Amino acid sequence: MNILIHPTYFPSISTFVAMAQAENTTLEMDDNFQKQTNRNRMYIYSPNGTQLLNIPVKHSKYAHQKTRDIKLETAFDWQKQHFKSLEAAYRSSPFFEYFEDAIMPVFEKKYTFLMDLNLETMQIVSKCLGLSFSYNETQEYFKESPDFSDFRHFANGKKDASEFAAYTQVFGEKYGYINNLSILDLLFNEGRYALDYLKSQQL
C-alpha cells in the first residue's frame, strides 16, 4: 500500500495505522493551511474526557498560505501548557515515564515553522514505536491522487470515521473508551505493544 498523508501534530492513531501497514509513505507538503484541523492540534484523554491541545500559529494577511510556510506564534507558551496537560492525562499510565524523555524535546526546543515541529513529532513517535519513518514528499498539490491510498482526510478529525478496537485507557472506567485520539494515547497506554495493535487494525 502506497499512502498519502498530511504531517500533523502528534498524529491520530488512524494516521499511524496507515503508516504501520504501508509499503511506502508520501507526505503532502504542498497543501494550503486549513484552520481547525489536526495540522496544529491533537486530542488526548484528560481527567475530564477528551481534551483539545491547539498550537497557536501566526495569521497571515493572505487568504491562502501553504502549510509549510505557517509559522508558530511564540507570544504564548503553548509548549509548557501542552506538557502539563499530557502529565495530568498520562502520568499514571503504564508507559508515560518510559517515553517521557523521548518526547520532551518537542516541548523544549524552539520551532519557527509548524511543518518542522510536525515532522519531528512523527519521527520521535515512530522511533518509540519501533517503526521506520522513511517517506517521500509531494512536489506539487493534486486534489486527486489515484496512485495512492489517499488518507489526507485524516488531518481533518471531522472527516475521519475510523473505528478501532478498544484498549485500556487511564480514565476508561470514568468515561468509557474514546476512539482514535492522538497516537500518544496509545503509546502511553500500550507501550511496546502499540505497534502490534497498529498493524492489526482495519482502515
pLDDT in tens, 146-167: 999 999 999 998 899 999 999 9
pLDDT computed for residue 158 by the predictor: 86
- Residue 136 is predicted with a pLDDT of 97
What pLDDT sits at residue 64? Answer: 84
Gap between the Cα atoms of 102 and 48, Å rounded: 26
Host domain of residue 100: 2-200
Instruction: List average pLDDT for each run of 10 residues in the chain, which is 203 residues long.
Output: 97 98 97 95 97 93 86 93 98 98 97 98 98 96 94 94 97 97 98 97 95
Question: Can you give the pLDDT at residue 63?
Answer: 72
- Identify the burial level of 11 via C-beta atoms within 10 angstroms of its C-beta, where 0-12 means exposed, 13-18 middle and 19 or more buried: buried
> How many domains, the chain?
1
Distance, in Å, from the CA atom of 181 to the CA atom of 95, rounded to the nearest integer, reads: 16
Position 167 scores a pLDDT of 98
Position 60 scores a pLDDT of 78
Read off φ and ψ for residue 177, nearest 5 degrees.
Answer: -75, 130
For 87, the grid coordinates are: 502529565
